[in-house]
Amino acid sequence: MPSTEYHAETGVRIKKARLALGLTQKEFAASLGIVQGFLSGIETGRKRPSDTLLIALSHTFGINAQWLSDGSGESFKNQPGAEQPNVSRAPLLEMIPDSFPDDPGAISRYISVPDLPEGCYAIVCYGDFMSPTIRDGDVVIFRPESEQKKSGDIIIVHNRWGEPILRRYRVKDDEIYLAPDNPAYAPFQPDDGTRTIGIVVDVWRKVII
């Protein structure tokens, strides 16, 4: 049937784009927030990619949506000669030890992220303190940094109990506050036991497909 042929061809093009980016199925699927088995089904024509997934492919990796749809044009948009965006891998940390960044601790796996600055790490956000900006289960990409933060940045800090938490760094009347984006929770002022771990540079969220 025409629709089956269309989806199979789309899957073939998705596979070509993945290979051009130099990513494995596991890495590519993790970057898009889908399971590897579903991606395999798409690439072989057994599964149908949703419109949401096609949009994610275009926005995340710069893949030409028209090329995905019917094969016309360059495979990667706004890149003469089909040059691909820079894709780097960030270590996904299970926890952030007191010795970080000298000792990053246990690394769960690596995730592939386009145009990632050098030296970044990733953690999974738990809780709704930064909702709706950052939600429970989101993957947070951060740069180890303590001195260059500015008011309005989202930062990761170790609180007095040694727990890594996400808060927005605020400066008001020369006073520093660490504020949640969720109005259900109150901001607090850091004390001597609060240590800045890094500055958030990107957030990845699994899409519903």
- On whether the CB atoms of residues 167 and 179 are closer than 8 A, the answer is yes
Could you give the C-alpha distances from 88 to 24, 63, 113, 202, in angstroms and in order? 13, 17, 5, 13
Segment holding 3, helix H or strand E = helix 2-21
Where in the chain are the domains? 2-76, 90-204
Cα–Cα–Cα angle for 17, 18, 20, nearest 5°? Answer: 65
Check if CATH label 2.60.40.10 holds for domain 2-76. Answer: no
Q: What is the distance between the alpha carbons of residues 8 and 75, in angstroms, rounded to a whole number?
A: 17
Which structure tokens are listed for 182?
Answer: 């969720």
pLDDT value of residue 112:
77
Hey, is 168 helix, strand or coil? strand
Instruction: Please tell me the predicted confidence (pLDDT) of residue 85.
Output: 56
Tens-digit pLDDT profile for the chain (209 aa)? Answer: 344 445 678 999 999 988 888 888 888 888 787 888 999 999 998 888 888 888 888 877 888 888 988 888 888 875 544 455 566 778 888 888 888 888 877 788 888 777 788 889 999 999 999 999 999 989 999 999 877 889 999 999 988 888 899 999 999 998 999 999 999 999 999 988 888 999 999 988 765 54
Fold of the domain spanning 90-204: Umud Fragment, subunit A (2.10.109)
b or e along 48-68 (b: 16 or more beta carbons within 10 Å of the residue's beta carbon)?
bbeeebbebbbebbbbbeebb
Give yes or no on whether 2-76 and 90-204 have one common fold. no
- Long-range CB pairs of 66-72, under 8 A, 24+ apart, other chains included: 67/13, 68/10, 68/13, 68/14, 68/17, 69/10, 71/9, 71/13
pLDDT score, position 23: 84
Distance, in Å, from the CA atom of 122 to the CA atom of 110, rounded to the nearest integer, reads 9
